[in-house]
Amino acid sequence: MLKAIDMKKVINYINGRPIRITLVMCCLALASCSKFLDETPKGSITPQSFYKTANDLQLAETALALQFNLAFNQVTAPYYAGDDIAAKRNGNKIDFSDFDVFNANSSNSRMTTWWNAFYGTIKSANSLLANYNNATEATADQKNNAGGYAYFMRAISYFYLTRTWGEVPMPVDNSINDNRPNAKVADLYNLIVGDLQKAETMLPDHWTGPAKQNGVDVLPTKGSAKALLANVYLTMAGWPLKQADKYSLAAAKAKEVIDNKATWGYTLLTNFPDLWKFSNRFNTEAVYACYFNKTTPNATWGNGNMMAPNPYAPDYEEGGWEDGFGEISFFNRFPAGPRKDATYQKDYFVKNDPANVVDWQHTLQKHPYFLKYREDDQFNWSNHKAGDWWSSATSFVIRYSEVLLTYAEAQAMSAGPDANAYLAINQVRQRAGLTPLPEGLSQTDFRNAVVAERGWEFAGEFGIRWFDLVRTETVQQANSLRDAGEVALINHPSDAGHTYYWAPIPFVK
């Protein structure tokens, strides 16, 4: 009981020994432990403790995949310079149109997405490259796979950057340099080739765990690296490096993919339209693609895809964003068939009214609209109405058909248009509902046929057509066919002077 203690005694005790009590209190206060001011970030990962285990490597791979997705989940302006795509020159589309009419300057607001996303990927890849080998608690395979993936991601990022902007800064580690100089194109390609040569040996044939979904590898495999390297060689053979010896390397690399396609499970889908069905968002034609799912809890921007359903949908007729549409001349040259029907929209429902159907010539903009990036799980085909502003659709980066066409072109340019070259392109033509290419074409004619074929096959797909025009030095030539129904060119590119071949480096770089 408290009563047992005589309060008065306590008070008297305190009152009688003031100095002693105070000293005790002071000592208590001063006796703080030395660890009081140490920082221990219990809920966060520090660089010192990371990249040690197989799980760490997987966490890094996951972040790298998300980073790269930012480059392929919306339209980007530089490839509007291609003859497959154009934008109206009004209001908020002027920045797209500026590339279409060769008038873009360094302040263009619609091109920085790529710059930032690719360099963000490079930063993460460089970090993983500097550390994957230190993962003492991972197997040699796990380390190689992680390192190979990082090499692949750095290579593909620089490949897009240099094709778009030419000479660009080339960080290969995580140092910071406010005045980093631009690297020469040849140096960039040397890095890209070196990285891909490592990636094709270090990457697995198949991934396990979350990177394998519906039987498809979400992350790149050996096959993806070889396919990309084939494309890199083909590009190096053209402008600006013009290293003709690379054709044979491209052909050989593409052939490796074709010959071993069963290893990686690559096929051409039987029907071209199936590629763009939401139910086929995991499919065997994807050699490398970006996969999205906006329904993931806490889904951040890179988890959803804004390519579908709105950017290529007509505005007035169906409530799309109309960020771009097909160029008329290109559309007119596009051979009819199931591929064309899946590439362009045929029937337009005025004000989403299925009873009020017009053709593209009678749309407000009088242009054919791409149909490729339209379907998601909420698009309503009965009235052509979008259910949401973003989606979980897939953005293909390398399709198997591209490997076939790369082979066809590279084989023709190195060994001549032989039977193997014909076989490769005709697989693509056959699926498109076209007759085989006439026998006995000259090397140049065959090559032109393949480049055209790539145009039809990949129209509207993230600049594949634009990069083809640049490497084959046919930008001016392609624009000579520009339809009068397009916005008139403000500036005129020259195939001799290679003007407007590269986009202006972003002002905020």
Partner 1 sequence: MVISKKVLLLFVGLALFVTSLAQTRKITGKVTGPDQQPLEGATVVVKGLGHGTSTLKDGSFVINVPETGNTLIFSFTGMEVQEVPLADKTTVRVQLKGKVSKLDDVVVIGYGTQKRRDLTGAVSTLSSQAYKEQPVLNASSAIQGRVAGVSVTNNSGAPGGSVKLRIRGPNSINGGNDPLYVVDGVALGSTGLGDLNVSDIASMEVLKDASATAVYGSRGANGVVLITTKSGSSGVPRIEYNGFVSFNRPMKKYSLMDPVTYAKMANLTSGVNTFPDPQSYAGKGTDWQNMIFSNSVTQSHELSVTGGKEGVKYYVSGFYIDQQGLLVNSSQKRFGFRSNLDVKLSSRLDFGVNVYLARINSHNNGDMGSKGNPVTGALTWAPTEAVYDAPGQYNRFGISPIWANPYMTIKESDNDNFGNIGVFNARLKYAITDWLTFTVNAALDLKTAKSASLRNDWISPGNPGSSQGSTESYTFQNSNILTFHKTFDKHDLTATALVEESSNKYNYFNASGSGLASLSNGYHNLGLNASQSINSGYSNWALLSYMGRVAYSYNDKYLLTATLRRDGSSKFQGNNKWSSFPSFSAGWKLSNEKFIDDLGVFSNLKLRAGWGVTGNQAIDPYSTLGLLNSVIYSYGTPNGYQGYTLGNPATPNVKWETSKQTDIGLDMGFLNGRINITADYYNKNTSDLLLFTRIANYDGGGSYLKNIGKVNNKGWEFMIEGTPYKGRELTWSTSLNLSFNKNKVIDLGKDSLLERNVIGGGLISAPIQVVKVGQPMGAFYLIPWEGVYQSDNGAYKAGDAKYRDVNGNGSIGFEDRVIAGSATPTFIWGFNNSFAYKNFELNIFIQGSHGNKIFNATYAATAIPTSDVKFINLADAANYWTSSNTNSTWANPASKNKSWIESTQFLQDGGYVRLKNVSLSYTLPKNLLKVAAAKVYVSAQNIATLTKYKGFDPEATTVGGDVDAGIDLGAYPSPKTVTVGLQVKF
**Cβ neighbours of residue 446 closer than 8 Å, sequence gap 6 or more:** 408, 412, 417, 421, 437
Can you tell me whether residue 437 is helix, strand or coil?
A: coil
The first and second tokens of residue 199, run together, are 């990636």
Calpha distance 102→487 (Å, rounded): 11
Is residue 51 a contact partner of residue 58, using CB atoms and an 8 Å limit? no
Interface positions, 126-145, toward partner 1 (CB under 8 A): 127
Does the protein bind partner 1 through residue 355 (CB under 8 A)? no
Residue whose CB is less far from partner 1, 65 or 412? 65
Interface positions, 18-77, toward partner 1 (CB under 8 A): 18-19, 21-22, 25-26, 28-33, 36-47, 50, 56, 59-67, 69
Interface positions, 432-461, toward partner 1 (CB under 8 A): none
User: Among residues 241, 252, 299, 489, which is the contact residue for partner 1, using CB under 8 A?
Assistant: 299
| Cα-based distances in Å from 26 to 21, 37, 376 | 9, 20, 70
The first and second tokens of residue 459, run together, are 């129209």
Interface positions, 320-349, toward partner 1 (CB under 8 A): 321
User: Among residues 52, 53, 54, 94, which is the contact residue for partner 1, using CB under 8 A?
Assistant: 94
Query: Among residues 221, 222, 226, 224, which one has the least CA distance to residue 253?
Result: 226
Does the protein bind partner 1 through residue 496 (CB under 8 A)? no
Interface positions, 358-417, toward partner 1 (CB under 8 A): 364-365, 377-378, 386-389, 392, 394
Interface positions, 462-491, toward partner 1 (CB under 8 A): 490
Interface positions, 255-284, toward partner 1 (CB under 8 A): 281-282
Residue whose CB is less far from partner 1, 47 or 497? 47
User: Among residues 106, 190, 332, 444, which is the contact residue for partner 1, using CB under 8 A?
Assistant: 106
**Binding region for partner 1 (CB under 8 A) out of 84-92, 247-255, 446-454, 462-470:** 84-92
348 strand-pairing partners: 358
- In the shown chain, the binding pattern of residues 199 to 238 toward partner 1, with x for contact by CB under 8 A and - for none, equals -----------xx-x----x--------------------
Sign of torsion over alpha carbons 438, 331, 322, 116: positive
CB of 461 to partner 1, least distance (A): 19
Calpha distance 268→427 (Å, rounded): 8
CB of 166 to partner 1, least distance (A): 14
The first and second tokens of residue 194, run together, are 């070196």
How big is the chain, counted in residues?
509
Is residue 194 a contact partner of residue 159, using CB atoms and an 8 Å limit? no
Residue whose CB is less far from partner 1, 96 or 233? 96
Q: Are strands 357-358 and 348-349 parallel, antiparallel or unpaired?
A: antiparallel
Residue whose CB is less far from partner 1, 310 or 414? 310
Can you tell me whether residue 439 is helix, strand or coil?
A: coil
